[in-house]
């Protein structure tokens, strides 16, 4: 998919761009741009920068301004204020650990595509009532793993999932082989030690491997 900076993306386009969306935790703004360039060079362009550190918004802003091939997303969006701040920083999509209608409406108001977090059938139904059919399954392994997704495939045949939480290079293929999984979320693409050491070549290599993981058609 061709990525156009500042173009409005659907949630499905975000999920379909690559097999893995990296879940990124940044503590140093100086790491943001070279890390993003390494991920893009490796074929990963949808970048979920989590709102777990005070530096997260500044990191998003730097990536959005300086890495034209990247599409910045905000992770750990839990409130309307988070959505507003992420959009102001240049995010084009949002990922939430759960779902509330307030968060859903705020993301719509600010032009952010949203992958709402769900872990139960009731949460899926609530998200669907509000028009969301591309969802984050979180925490994936703790909430039932591939077996749960297989069970959901019948009643929720029209939903696509991005399992996140406990997904690793060792089990990613088990998720990606499922027809209701569009991609997975994983933190292994951006290891903390690689960030600390400025080992951008390692991050690029991990991104390239992840970008080539096979998916169900």
Q: Which positions are catalytic?
A: 48, 136
Angle between helices 56-66 and 80-88 in degrees, nearest 10 = 30
Question: How far apart, in whole angstroms, are the C-alpha atoms of residue 168 and residue 86?
Answer: 27
Task: Return the DSSP state at 181.
Answer: B
Omega of the bond prior to 139 within 30 degrees of 0, cis? yes
Least Cα distance to 128 among 161, 91, 150, 95 occurs for 161
Block residue for tokens 């990606």: 176
Question: How far apart, in whole angstroms, are the C-alpha atoms of residue 113 and residue 93?
Answer: 4
Task: Return the DSSP state at 164.
Answer: B
């Amino acid at each position: 998919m061709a990525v156009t900076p500042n173009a409005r993306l659907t949630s499905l386009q975000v999920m379909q761009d690559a097999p893995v969306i990296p879940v990124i935790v940044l503590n140093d703004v100086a790491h943001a741009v070279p890390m993003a360039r390494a991920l893009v060079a490796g074929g990963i362009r949808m970048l979920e920068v989590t709102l777990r550190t005070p530096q997260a918004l500044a990191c998003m802003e730097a990536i959005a301004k300086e890495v034209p091939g990247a599409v910045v997303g905000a992770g750990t969006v839990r409130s309307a204020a988070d959505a507003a701040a992420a959009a102001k920083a240049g995010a084009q999509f949002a990922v939430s650990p759960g779902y509330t209608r307030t968060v859903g409406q705020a993301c719509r108001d600010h032009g952010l595509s949203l992958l709402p977090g769900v872990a139960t059938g009731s949460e899926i139904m609530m998200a669907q009532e509000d028009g969301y059919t591309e969802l984050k399954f979180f925490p994936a392994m703790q909430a039932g793993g591939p077996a749960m997704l297989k069970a959901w495939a019948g009643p929720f045949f029209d939903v696509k999932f991005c399992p996140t939480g406990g997904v690793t290079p060792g089990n990613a293929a088990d998720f990606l082989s499922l027809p209701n999984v569009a991609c997975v979320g994983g933190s292994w693409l951006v290891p903390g030690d690689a960030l600390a050491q400025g080992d951008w070549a390692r991050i690029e290599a991990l991104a390239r491997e992840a970008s080539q993981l096979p998916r169900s058609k």
